[in-house]
Structures are given as C-alpha cells and as structure tokens.
Amino acid sequence: MLINYRSLKIGDAENIRIWRNNQLKILRQNKLIKKKDQTMYFKKNILIKNSKLDLFAIDYDQKLIGYGGLVNVENDFKIAEISFLLDNKIDYNSILFQKIFNDFLSFIKKYSFYDKKLRKIYTETYSFRKKQISILENFGFKLEGTMKKHVIKNKKIYDSLIHGILIN
C-alpha cells in the first residue's frame, strides 16, 4: 500500500466536489456544491497560499482517493483543525479506511508540529461517527469537550466531540 500526499490541483476539484456532495450526512456542509462554485472556491482558496488552509491530496497507488490537511489555522495561537475526507466508495468501517486514516494522522501530526511549528491540532467529530472517534483516541487524541446537541444530521440531533493532541 503506497499512500502519497501532494498539493491539490484544479483537476482534483471535481472528485472532491462529488465526494463532499455524496457525504453530506457526515460533513458540516449542508447543501450540494455546484461545479462552478467548487472551481471558484479552488481558485480563490486552495490554489493560492492561504494562511487559514493547508490541504493535501491523498493518493493511493497513484490514484486520488481523498484529501485532508489543516483548516482554521490560527498562526498567532499555533493551532489548527484537521480536515479529512476519502472517496465515498471507501467504507469508513473498513480496515483500508482505518489504515489510510492512521497514515494521514501520522503525516499531519509530523507536518503540523515539525514543519508548521504548531503546538496543537484538533478535530470536531459528530458523535455518531464511532469508528473515527475510536481511531482518533487510539492514535492519542484526547477528548477535550462535547458540544451538546450541537448539530442536526439526518433529521436527528447529535453532539459534536472535540479531540486534541499537543506537541510532545
């Protein structure tokens, strides 16, 4: 299994748009993204240096399968939130998902603490995403708080869990 991280390209935009639109039930996004809106967003936010975003394509055996990186980067405080999404064809309860997610967490932790010189990275995960929460906690992320009844997804109300990890 060869996982590679690289800069996002305009050619990645459409796959990411499709994946995001197919996974509304797990994302903060609440409406479908139009192709022209995705292209504009990529040009304005992804393809230029952006102090609040630092995203990477995730290639598996030289094929784009996802993306992830840092969002809500606060350089003054040396913190950032992690973003991670794979092709919706990869079952997030599968061993493959777990391996890719763990590899990504290792990559982004090293990148965040040693290249970006951050002191903390964190995540927000909806409480129904039990597998992701388990992977985060097994990796070393600590539960820092719960935003009670914070989000409505699939016509149900859920908590949002905040996990963080500090540079050691």
**156-165 pLDDT per residue, tens:** 999 999 999 9
- Residues near 128 by Cβ (< 8 Å), separated by ≥ 6? 153, 156, 158
User: How distant is the alpha carbon of residue 100 from its chain centre?
Assistant: 12
Taking only the tens place, the pLDDT of each residue in 109-136 is: 999 999 999 999 999 999 988 999 999 9
User: Could you give the angle at which helices 130-139 and 95-110 cross, rounded to 10 degrees?
Assistant: 40
Nearest by Cα to 98 from 109, 112, 86, 83: 86
Backbone phi, then psi, for 138, in 5-degree steps?
-65, -30
Which of the 8 DSSP states describes residue 2?
-
- Assess whether pLDDT exceeds 70 at residue 139: yes
Element (H, E) at 65: strand 63-74
Average pLDDT value for residue range 37-42: 90
Backbone phi, then psi, for 108, in 5-degree steps?
-70, -30
Taking only the tens place, the pLDDT of each residue in 44-92 is: 888 877 678 899 999 999 999 999 999 999 999 999 999 999 999 998 8
Say if strands 120-126 and 79-86 run parallel, antiparallel, or are unpaired: parallel
**Stated pTM of the model:** 0.92
